[in-house]
A and B are shown apart, each in its own frame.
Chain A
Amino acid sequence: MSTTLSHVATTDAPELHIAGERKKPWLPALVMLLRIVLCLVFGLPLVFLIVNSFKPDSAIFGDLGSINAFLPIGQLSLDNYAGVFERVPFATFLLNSALISIVTVVFGLIVNSMAAFALSRMQFKGQKIVLGVILATLIVPFETMALPLLWWVNQLPYFDGSVGWLDTYEVQIIPFIANAFSIYLFYQYFDSIPKELDEAAKVDGAGWFRIYRSIVMPLSGPAIATVAILTFLPAWNSYLWPLMVTQSEAIRPAMVGMDYFKQMTGAGGTAWGQIMAYASMITVPVLALFIAFQRAFINSIASSGVKG
């Protein structure tokens, strides 16, 4: 863990800001104990998940009452993992999730940054109204319009001339490319880049699109990282929408696939070991990404808080 969250706490604040520590020497120890207990509360369920994905169901239940439930001991094997692949086309589900998330992120970055650039750095009629409408939609949670949207995409003409977008990749990607919050984050960041740069570039004969591509975007690394992460996580974790719009296995993403998988194991007792193997395989890649890019993850969450 060489990359740390240390930048979040850069104040030289004394421990907990609790005065009178000289009078109560046991306080820091108590606080440390509390931290460790909380560590167990937040960490142990995930340890439990990963450890038990390697155990047969009998051992999972057998170890429950003891500390062994959290330790990788006993008959460990990859049987549960093999079981997942036997039951469902897991690799397809995972690739679908990756494809949908990555395409949404890439197109989202281009489309939203362009819109934010036009709103932040250029001046034209109607701009203020567009910005106002975009900001107003920020309060509308996706869930309020999910059902009408389902009806709507079922009426829309599809690219091959037929009607209805259901059960396609497009219906899982295209509605989520343009995003008001992404536009807002880019807009804020672009506003902090000096406008003199644009003037200088114009003197050199650059057009607006060139200023966007060659000057503003290369300076916007942090905003790009923030938007990429805040787009990736919901896309990867998306559940409600793919649940409604996917039917065939070929285009099913991993989160909805997990629900489907559990229902398939339902007959003859739920195969918990296999479910944990499935859960581990869709969780560990994201946890690994998080630990590798901790700083960017935490920054993006923290900057989402400036919204208020």
Chain B
Amino acid sequence: MSIAVAAESASGQKIAAEPPSRKRRSTSGKAAVTGWAMLAPAGILMLVFLIVPIILTLSLAFTDARLISPTPAKFIGLNNFTRLFGSNVFWHSLQNTIVFALVIVPVQSACALGLAVLVNAKVRGTNFFRTVYFLPVVTSMVVVSMLWLFMYQQDGLINALLAKIGIAGPDWLGDPNTALFAIILMSAWQAMGFHMVIWLSGLQTISADLYEAASLDGANGWQQFAHVTWPGLKQTRTFILITITIAAFSLFTQINVMTQGGPLDSTSTLVFLAVRTGFQQQQTGYASAMSLVFFVLVLAVSLVQRYLTRDKDLQR
């Protein structure tokens, strides 16, 4: 509360220093004081813990800052980036991150839409199914990773089940060829229910009359989906693609719990690498350069989103 009071007096002085508007709009001047005061707690916190770190990401990337260091950080130009772009682990991590996103975005969003369509009906038991599909979403990723770590073992649950039908399963997480795929599968399993709910809320916005009209016109199930459902989900679609993509770029927990980036860097990701560099090796400057690359990726995705949304507005 003391922060709020301090901010109130500070902004109060600011308002008082504007003589022209003060006399005529004394009520709105008072509103401004209260307004800034109510904004201040969140504003100060966001400034310190969001805006400043964003600026730091942009600036520390060009320094040799270390997490714990007696000497202040020095400006070293593009050195971090030359070092980064010359690093094999970085390119592997970038590639893994992009592969993860490219695979999981279509797979997870399509499967989640399938789930949503499956449970978007007034049938007995639908609510039960929805609840079950949603359970992994409320389970923490650490728990999910730990559980699947067990299931994916060479002698774990999945291979035991595969053995029942005569398939000798691989060492899922121990083989560079299957490790990333195994993590993709698990991640899709965990988050699918989340996007199912978002697709469902999109499906609800499509009027039942449209389906009725389509079926009177003799449209079959697939035609109804293609000409009524799909166009009606345009906005939901953009949102889902963006959220899955950004979440995919942020991949960390699964990697840290399950593989530590291995085997042979086959599951290392940008965030995992940045944490290893900036936290374990304490090279904040170098890690900030990685964060900046990550930031540029996210920004690019958001620009694509903006482009897609604008496209939609034009059509309306």
Contact = CB atoms under 8 A, between A and B. Distances in A.
Q: Do A and B bind each other?
A: yes
Contacts of B206: 11
Nearest to A70: B157
A258 B146 contact: yes
Interface string A156-194: 100000000000000000111110100100000000000
Nearest to A182: B42
A257 to B, nearest CB: 10
Contacts of B43: 115, 130, 178
Interface string B202-223: 1110101001000100011100
A222 to B, nearest CB: 14
Contacts of A122: 31, 34-35, 38
A240 interface: yes
Contacts of B115: 38
Interface in B116-166: 117-123, 125-143, 146-148, 150-151, 155-157, 160-161, 163-164
Contacts of B220: 19-20
B79 interface: no
Interface residues of B, number: 119
B221 A208 contact: no
B155 A61 contact: yes
A254 to B, nearest CB: 9
Nearest to B118: A35
A305 interface: yes
A175 B38 CA distance: 18
A305 B204 contact: no
B183 to A, nearest CB: 15
A174 B49 contact: yes
Given A118-B35, A258-B143, A244 B279 contact: yes
Interface stretch (A43-51, A73-81, A85-93): A43-51
Contacts of A9: 119-122, 126, 200, 203-204
Given A69-B157, A239-B142, A259-B257, A148 B288 contact: yes
B139 A287 contact: yes
B121 A13 contact: yes
Interface in B284-302: 284, 287-288, 290-291, 294-295, 298-299, 302
Nearest to A307: B239
Interface stretch (B81-89, B168-176, B245-253): B245-253
Interface in A1-60: 1, 4-6, 8-20, 31-32, 34-35, 38-39, 41-43, 45-46, 48-49
Interface in B33-47: 34-36, 38-39, 41-43, 45-46
B129 A35 contact: yes
A296 to B, nearest CB: 12
Given A42-B132, A152-B56, A31 B118 contact: yes
A233 B194 CA distance: 13
A227 to B, nearest CB: 12
A237 to B, nearest CB: 4
A214 to B, nearest CB: 15
Contacts of B197: 8, 298, 301-302, 305
B243 to A, nearest CB: 8
A19 B46 contact: no
Contacts of B98: none
Interface in A279-304: 279, 282-283, 286-287, 289-291, 294, 297-298, 301-304
A114 interface: yes
Given A49-B147, A111-B45, A147-B288, 4 more contacts: A9-B122, A11-B203, A276-B147, A283-B143
Interface of A: 1, 4-6, 8-20, 31-32, 34-35, 38-39, 41-43, 45-46, 48-49, 61, 64-65, 69, 110-112, 114-115, 117-119, 122-127, 130, 133-134, 137, 139-152, 154, 156, 174-178, 180, 183, 207-209, 212, 233, 236-237, 239-240, 243-244, 255, 258-259, 262, 272, 275-276, 279, 282-283, 286-287, 289-291, 294, 297-298, 301-305, 307-308
19 contacts: A5-B127, A5-B134, A8-B130, A9-B120, A11-B208, A12-B122, A19-B220, A38-B115, A115-B39, A123-B31, A126-B36, A137-B50, A145-B56, A146-B291, A148-B291, A212-B38, A276-B150, A305-B197, A305-B201
Interface of B: 28, 31-32, 34-36, 38-39, 41-43, 45-46, 48-54, 56-57, 60, 65, 67-68, 115, 117-123, 125-143, 146-148, 150-151, 155-157, 160-161, 163-164, 189, 192-194, 197-198, 200-204, 206, 208, 211, 215, 219-221, 224-225, 228-229, 235-236, 238-240, 242, 246-247, 249-250, 252-253, 256-257, 271, 274-275, 277-279, 284, 287-288, 290-291, 294-295, 298-299, 302, 305, 309
